[in-house]
């Protein structure tokens, strides 16, 4: 029950939950996409040449061009058996410690397509300390290279962000459901006749703690018992036999019984009025 006696969840609480869920879902979705398709979003650099990257802990690969495909004219496409540079031409240096990172020859058959170029992995290296690294490639022919995380490590990086995406989506749905429920219930209550915006009806008394519903109901004032004296200042009721305005009547008398040997049709001379 919301404030002011209105039914349903609070509007502001529903809005806050919805915004928090939407923020988590958006951030988790973006990170999931970025971690999954990092090789598609990272910039390439010219070879021979070098590039400075901020690398996190993990396994990375160095890709070289093996084909240049023309979508409009396949005769102009160029296909190579191997990239234009080898492992010995690559140097990865930690700029913070000036240490050289060891490289491993990569024999993976996974290829990467970027624009009209097809890349194949040449070497891989493992970063154990996050920081800025310089990747230098000394090649005899001009080409381009891409450096990024390995495709095999993508699931381990994506799972935490996917969990955030799912949790944020559920929280967003809960917030929207609460918001819609609160709006609908408030609309129904306000359309009811006699609605006063949550004020108590006339004659209503607040329930007392520990009292039964019958005791909490308003009761009429008590009626004095029969025979009790009237309150001060109240005159006698109209027509009351005890009122001074009414004359006192003597009680009726019954005739005396006839004496023995007396004619019942003759009057009794012994009566006071006979």
pLDDT at 80: 73
As a whole number, mean pLDDT of residues 217-235 equals 58
Q: Within 10 A of 88 (CB to CB), how many other CB atoms are there?
A: 10
Give the residue with greater pLDDT, 208 vs 141.
141
Element (H, E) at 61: strand 58-68
pLDDT at 98: 92
User: Is the pLDDT score of 240 beyond 60?
Assistant: no
Q: Quick one: which of 107, 91, 89 has its CA closest to 150?
A: 107
User: Is the pLDDT score of 272 beyond 80?
Assistant: no
pLDDT at 127: 93
For residue 24, name the pLDDT band (cuts at 50, 70, 90). Answer: very high
User: Is the pLDDT score of 243 beyond 50?
Assistant: no
Q: How far apart are CA 62 and CA 150, in angstroms?
A: 9
User: Is the pLDDT score of 274 beyond 50?
Assistant: no
pLDDT at 90: 94
In tens, the pLDDT along 82-98 reads 788 899 999 999 999 99
Give the residue with greater pLDDT, 132 vs 183.
132
As a whole number, mean pLDDT of residues 1-23 equals 76
As a whole number, mean pLDDT of residues 230-258 equals 54
Q: How far apart are CA 26 and CA 15, in angstroms?
A: 16
Sequence-distant (≥ 6) Cβ neighbours of residue 87 within 8 angstroms:
103, 105, 122, 123
User: Is the pLDDT score of 113 beyond 50?
Assistant: yes
For residue 8, name the pLDDT band (cuts at 50, 70, 90). Answer: low
User: Is the pLDDT score of 30 beyond 50?
Assistant: yes
**Percentage of the chain exceeding pLDDT 90:** 28
Q: How far apart are CA 146 and CA 53, in angstroms?
A: 11
Q: Which of 21-25, 161-165, 224-228 has the lowest mean pLDDT?
A: 224-228
For residue 1, name the pLDDT band (cuts at 50, 70, 90). Answer: very low
| DSSP character string of 155-199 | HHHHHHHHHHHHHHHHHHHHHHHHHHHHHHHHHHHHHSTT--TTP
Average pLDDT, the chain: 75
In tens, the pLDDT along 38-87 reads 777 788 899 999 999 999 888 999 999 888 876 666 666 677 777 888 99
Q: How far apart are CA 258 and CA 269, in angstroms?
A: 11
Torsions phi, psi for 117 (to 5 deg): -105, 145
Question: Global pTM?
Answer: 0.52
């Amino acid at each position: 029950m919301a404030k002011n006696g209105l039914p349903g969840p609070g509007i502001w609480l529903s809005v806050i939950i919805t915004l928090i869920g939407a923020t988590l879902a958006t951030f988790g979705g973006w990170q999931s996409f970025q971690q999954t398709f990092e090789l598609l979003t990272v910039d390439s650099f010219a070879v021979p040449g070098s590039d400075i990257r901020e690398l996190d802990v993990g396994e990375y690969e160095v890709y070289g061009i093996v084909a240049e495909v023309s979508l409009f004219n396949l005769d102009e496409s160029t296909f190579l058996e191997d990239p234009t540079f080898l492992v010995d031409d690559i140097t990865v240096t930690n700029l913070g410690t000036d240490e050289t990172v060891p490289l491993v020859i990569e024999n993976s058959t996974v290829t990467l397509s970027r624009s009209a170029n097809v890349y194949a992995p040449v070497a891989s290296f493992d970063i154990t300390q996050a920081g800025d690294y310089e990747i230098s490639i000394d090649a005899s022919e001009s080409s381009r290279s891409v450096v990024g995380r390995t495709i095999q490590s993508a699931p381990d990086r994506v799972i935490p962000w996917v969990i955030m995406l799912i949790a944020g989506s559920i929280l967003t749905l809960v917030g929207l459901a609460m918001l819609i429920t609160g709006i609908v219930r408030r609309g129904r209550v306000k359309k009811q006749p006699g609605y006063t915006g949550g004020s108590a009806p006339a004659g209503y008394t607040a329930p007392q703690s520990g009292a039964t519903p019958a005791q909490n109901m308003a009761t009429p004032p008590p009626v004095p018992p029969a025979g009790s004296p009237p309150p001060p200042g109240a005159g006698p009721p109209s027509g009351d036999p005890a009122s001074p305005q009414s004359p006192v009547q003597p009680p009726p008398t019954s005739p005396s019984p006839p004496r023995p040997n007396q004619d019942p049709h003759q009057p009794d001379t012994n009566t006071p009025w006979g």
